[in-house]
Amino acid sequence: MFGLKKRILIAFLLCLCTSLTVSAQSDRGTITGIVTDSTGAVLPKASVSATNTSKGIVSKTVTNEDGNYTIPLLPAGTYLVKIELSGFRTYIREGITVQVAQTARLDVTLQIGEVSETVEVTADASILRTESAELSTSITPEKLSALPVDFSGAMRNPMSFLRLVPGASVSRDQSWPVTSQNGLQSFSEEIRIDGASSTNPTPGVFNEAQPSVDAIQEINIQTSNFNAEYGQAGGAIMNMTLKSGTNQLHGTTYEYLRNEFFNAKNKDLPETDPKTKLRRQEFGGTVGWPLLIPKLYNGHNKTFWFTSYEQFYTRDNQ
């Protein structure tokens, strides 16, 4: 009886994770390329695998009759690619960066030898956009964590990163950023979070339900020539992918503070006038780990969870 309950629980968890994965596709990346030998002849039926280095999840495929391979629907992150074929040395490439809604192309030439012999490359693969003419800008995790985000009116808003996109205009209306791309009407962009549409034409609504900046893994903004699947968008497609748990426990804590004590006085006001009251505080944290149920389920390399918390206070008028 206990064994049946255990199997039902595991099946439920796997179905839940599968449904979440299937519903979030448009923010995924792809690794593609062609496999040849030293003479330039294509090599069909070569085994190709891509391993997410932080989660240990492996995606596999084989080359077709033309030597081409494609591994789609990969979450943004860093991957290790391994290619094997009988009669050739095993090829391993580390540090393949897959970005949101982008394609990393990796063409490989296998060397004759035993499969047990390995050719290992540790350089990053450049992203070649030969399959699409779209124009886009990626806001990488390094930029998300290093660049300051204004929260003078409300909590930090990921829409502020649109200032990094060529042709974008970002201004502030009350407490939320007003955006425009390539001179088009404001609020004409499509916003997607993990592949699901989060667009609302009412200004400020996204601000009320936005993800924490610390919970975002990467943002990709497509501004021109994007695919027909985004036909409802006018100005731009803003694709956000959220962080996920990994095989290692990881998380962050943060606090942002504004107070008139740290501000200089307005030189145009009398010396006796007090500083304008300005008291705003934003704090929170994130944490992620594999799903572990003692004696029932070990999610390492398979199932992960991630959560974040954020709170904002303003006391300007108190």
Looking up residue 46, the CATH number of its domain turns out to be 2.60.40.1120
Task: Indicate whether 96 belongs to any domain.
Answer: yes
pLDDT score at 71: 96
d(CA 173, CA 150): 13
Compute the radius of gyration of the chain from its Cα atoms. 24
Q: Which residues contact 1 (CB under 8 A, 6 or more apart)?
A: none
Least confident of 85-94, 126-135, 190-199, 255-264: 126-135
pLDDT score at 192: 85
d(CA 79, CA 96): 5
> Residues of the chain with pLDDT > 90: what percent?
36
Q: What is the residue whose two structure tokens read 């070649």?
A: 128
d(CA 20, CA 307): 15
Q: What pairs with residue 24 in β-bridges?
A: none
Final residue before a domain boundary, out of 216, 239, 262: 239
pLDDT score at 22: 41
pLDDT score at 208: 59
Q: For the residues 287-307, what does the mean pLDDT come to?
A: 92
Q: For the residues 152-162, what does the mean pLDDT come to?
A: 77
d(CA 222, CA 308): 27
Q: Which residues contact 121 (CB under 8 A, 6 or more apart)?
A: 91, 92, 93, 94
**Total count of domains within the chain:** 3
More confident call, 271 vs 301: 301
More confident call, 253 vs 167: 253
CA atoms lying within 13 Å on the CB side of residue 189: 28
CA distances from 53 to 79, 152, 173, 250 (A): 5, 38, 42, 15
Q: For the residues 127-156, what does the mean pLDDT come to?
A: 75
> Which domain, by its residues, includes 31?
2-121
Final residue before a domain boundary, out of 69, 91, 121: 121
Final residue before a domain boundary, out of 69, 88, 121: 121
d(CA 62, CA 84): 9
Identity (one letter) of the amino acid at 257?
Answer: L
d(CA 93, CA 50): 9
Asked if pLDDT for residue 128 goes beyond 60, the answer is: no
Same domain, 13 and 110: yes
Asked if pLDDT for residue 2 goes beyond 70, the answer is: no
More confident call, 64 vs 206: 64
Same domain, 78 and 181: no
Whole-model pTM? 0.75
Same domain, 113 and 161: no
